[in-house]
Amino acid sequence: MLGMPSASDPLPVSVRQEAADIAAFRERHGLPGLVDIHTHFMPKPVLDKVWRFFEALDGHSHGGAASWPITYRVDEVERIVTLRAFGVRRFTSMLYPHKPEMAEWLNAWSAEFAFRTADCAHTATFCAEASATAYVKEALDAGAEVFKVHVQVGGFDPADPILHPVWGTLAEAGVPIVIHAGSGPEPGNHTGPGPIRSILAAHPDLVLVIAHMGMPEYADFLEIAESNPHVHLDTTMAFTDFTEALMPLPVDLLPRLRDLGGRVVLGSDFPNIPYPYLHQLEAIERLDLGTEWIRAVCWDNGARLLGVSPR
C-alpha cells in the first residue's frame, strides 16, 4: 500500500507513452524498478518560486542556459502518479532553505508528506545556524532517512564550525546527505570541492551523495569519492544533452566512473527538468558502461541507501 494517489489514476497520453518507453528500458536491463535519490517535492509556494526562477532564465545567467522549461509542471498528485507510472519505487522530497529559520518548517512539511506518501523517503534539510543541531536531531528522531543540503542556494559554508555537531550527528546516524556542492550551474561563495574535503577530514564516516556528479568539477569530486568509501555521486542532469552543451563530462573520466559503479546512484531532478525523464535514463545508457553498471546505478545503490528491499 503506497497511499493515495494510486498509479491507476489517469495520465496524459504523452506520459503513458513515456512510461512504456521507460518500462522497455527497465526490461532491457533487468530492473525491478527505479530508485531516484534526487526528486523534488516542496510546499507549493516554495516550489512555485523555484519554477518561476527557472522559467525566467534568459541565457545570460545560470550557466548560460538559454531556457529551462519545467517539463512536469503539474500538481503534486499528478507528479506522484507520474513517478509511479515510470516505475520509480523509491524517491525523495529534496527541499532546502534559502535563508535561516526556514529549514525547521520545511522539515515539518516533508515529514507530513512522507507520512502520506509511503514510497517517498522521509527527507530533511538544514543550513548553517545555531538551531540546526537541535532540529536535525528532531528530524532523525522523527524518522528522517535522507537529508538535502544546497550550498549554492543556502549561501553558507558547509564547513562552518557551527555545523560541526550536525555533521557528527549525521555521521553517527549513517543517513545519506545529498549535497549540491559543485559550482554548476553557477559558482557560489562556498561551492567547490574544498569545503567537502574539510568536512570529510573531520567526519570521514559521513555518507555524502554529491549531487549532479559535482558538475562542473567532475574530476575533483570523482577523486573525493574514490578516496572516501562512504561518498557517492548522483547522476542528476549529468550526461544529458542539456548539460553536455554547457558543462560536458570529460570522456577520459568514464573508466573511473565505471569503476566507481557501486557508488553512483540515479538522480533526476524531477520535476524541475527541461526534458523528459526518459532522457536521463537514455543518457546513462549511452555511456555504454554495461548493464551491470546500469542496474547498480538505477536500482541497487539507491535501494541500499534508501532501504529498499533487494531485487
Answer whether residue 19 is part of any domain. no
The whole-number pLDDT of residue 67 equals 83
pLDDT in tens, 135-157: 999 999 999 999 999 999 999 99
The whole-number pLDDT of residue 2 equals 55
Taking the model in full, what pTM does it have?
Answer: 0.94
The whole-number pLDDT of residue 3 equals 56
The whole-number pLDDT of residue 59 equals 55
pLDDT in tens, 260-276: 999 999 999 999 999 99
pLDDT in tens, 161-213: 999 999 999 999 999 999 999 999 989 999 999 999 999 999 999 999 999 99
Distance in angstroms (rounded) separating the CA atoms of residues 192 and 194: 6
**Percent of the chain clearing pLDDT 70 (strictly above):** 93
CATH code assigned at 271: 3.20.20.140
Answer whether residue 4 is part of any domain. no
Distance in angstroms (rounded) separating the CA atoms of residues 250 and 273: 22
Answer whether residue 1 is part of any domain. no
Q: How many domains does the chain have?
A: 1
Mean pLDDT for all residues in the chain: 94
Distance in angstroms (rounded) separating the CA atoms of residues 23 and 254: 26
The whole-number pLDDT of residue 1 equals 40
The whole-number pLDDT of residue 295 equals 98
- Exposure string of 110-135, with b = 16+ CB inside 10 Å and e = fewer, is bbebbeebebbbbbbbbbbbeebbeb
The cell numbers describing 7, all together, are 498509479
**Percent of the chain clearing pLDDT 90 (strictly above):** 90
CA-based nearest residue to 131, from 151, 153, 105: 105
190 is in which domain, residue-wise?
Answer: 38-306
Helix 103-116 to helix 132-141 angle (10° resolution) is: 10
Answer whether residue 207 is part of any domain. yes
Answer whether residue 218 is part of any domain. yes
The whole-number pLDDT of residue 124 equals 98
The whole-number pLDDT of residue 288 equals 98
200 and 208 in contact (C-beta within 8 Å)?
Answer: yes
pLDDT band at 9; cut points 50, 70, 90: low
Answer whether residue 128 is part of any domain. yes
CA-based nearest residue to 210, from 264, 271, 172: 264
Answer whether residue 311 is part of any domain. no
Answer whether residue 8 is part of any domain. no
Residue 6 reports pLDDT greater than 80: no
pLDDT in tens, 67-122: 899 999 999 999 999 999 999 999 999 999 999 999 999 999 999 999 999 999 99
Residue 6 or residue 76, greater confidence: 76
Average pLDDT over residues 30-45: 98
The cell numbers describing 208, all together, are 555524502
